[in-house]
Amino acid sequence: MGFELGDISVRRVIETEGPEFDPRRFFPDCDSGALDRHRPWLEPRFLDPASGKLVFAIQSYLLRTRHHTILVDSCVGENKARSYSPDWNMRGDTSYLADLAAAGAPAESIDFVLCTHLHPDHVGWNTRLVDGRWVPTFANAKYIFARDEWAFWRAKSAKHPTKYDDGAIRDSVLPVVEAGQALIVDQDHALDDQVCLEPSPGHTPGHVGIRLASRGQRGVLSGDLIHNVLQCAHPQWSSAACFDKALSARTRQGFLDRAAETDTLVMTAHFPSPSVGHVVRAGDAFGFRFRE
């Protein structure tokens, strides 16, 4: 579950992987004709034949650069009340922190937590419940939130604490800010000479990707700019969870166009394992060549 990109070590820490969402609900533009056309290559790896649901990984990327130990996105977490998915509600006794330690990074060793955006499946382990209070899980880390994303969700959560973010800002972001561990940065913030943010708005207003560069090799953690391999074949399909579906589609199309012209390694948030690969052209759309 790991590889090197130049001298950056990349490890995936998987919280869950399995059937998660009905494709026609998740992608409002997906109809049964399109689904049937793709079914032969989708099943069973990307579409679970038994449940008819898309297979999703929910995971963090652990990056170790010359300078820093960085966790990108922090999954669903434990003890979080979530109505969006019964699988996400009040999880307990998971192996996530042990798995992170086994990947070489106990919680106290994390220097930075980067969130591509502030949805519940990307911020959950930001905090954990200790003596009835939400406290930052990564005691020695600074948590990096893109300014536009933070501004949007702070305002939404202040008015409607659970309506839009399922409570995630209140239990997984605000406690980090209140503890003085948040760094609110520009959308194109460079963390160091190997890691920088890149704006990719649409799924959420301040969504960012994370660009990596080391020794002539390039990669990008794409977050929820793209959720599923089906969107390589249909870049215009935005998810039901996308805030601005038209902008999400434009951002995705541009991203795929550029990625297909380069050897940039794309590290997706939710594609099934190994989740990482290269975008290739396929007719007037795209395909994804996994790095097996």
Binding residues vs Zn ion (CB under 5 A): 121, 224
CB nearer to Zn ion: give 65 or 76.
76
CB nearer to Zn ion: give 64 or 252.
252
CB of 90 to Zn ion, least distance (A): 19
CB of 35 to Zn ion, least distance (A): 21
CB nearer to Zn ion: give 64 or 227.
227
CB of 223 to Zn ion, least distance (A): 7
Q: In what order do the strands lie in the sheet with 285-290?
A: 195-199, 208-214, 217-223, 265-268, 276-282, 285-290
Q: What angle do CA 168, 71, 201 make, to 5 degrees?
A: 60
Cβ atoms of 187 and 199 within 8 Å: the answer is yes
CB nearer to Zn ion: give 58 or 256.
58
Q: How many CB atoms lie within 10 A of CB 5?
A: 20
- For residue 102 the two structure tokens come to 């086994």
CB of 111 to Zn ion, least distance (A): 23
Cβ atoms of 276 and 266 within 8 Å: the answer is yes
What gap in Å lies between CA 30 and CA 237, rounded to an integer? 7
CB of 73 to Zn ion, least distance (A): 8
CB nearer to Zn ion: give 121 or 165.
121
Of 273, 278, 274, 275, the C-alpha closest to 289 is: 278
CB nearer to Zn ion: give 15 or 224.
224
The CB-based long-range contact list for 266-269 (8 Å cut-off, 24+ gap) reads: 266/219, 266/220, 266/222, 267/10, 267/61, 267/219, 267/220, 267/221, 267/222, 268/222, 268/226, 269/57, 269/58, 269/59, 269/73, 269/116, 269/122, 269/221, 269/222, 269/223, 269/224, 269/227
CB nearer to Zn ion: give 64 or 202.
202
CB of 212 to Zn ion, least distance (A): 20
CB of 188 to Zn ion, least distance (A): 22
CB nearer to Zn ion: give 65 or 173.
173
What gap in Å lies between CA 80 and CA 237, rounded to an integer? 30
Residues 6+ positions from 206 with CB-CB distance below 8 Å: 117, 146, 147, 148, 149, 150, 151, 152, 187, 199
CB of 122 to Zn ion, least distance (A): 6
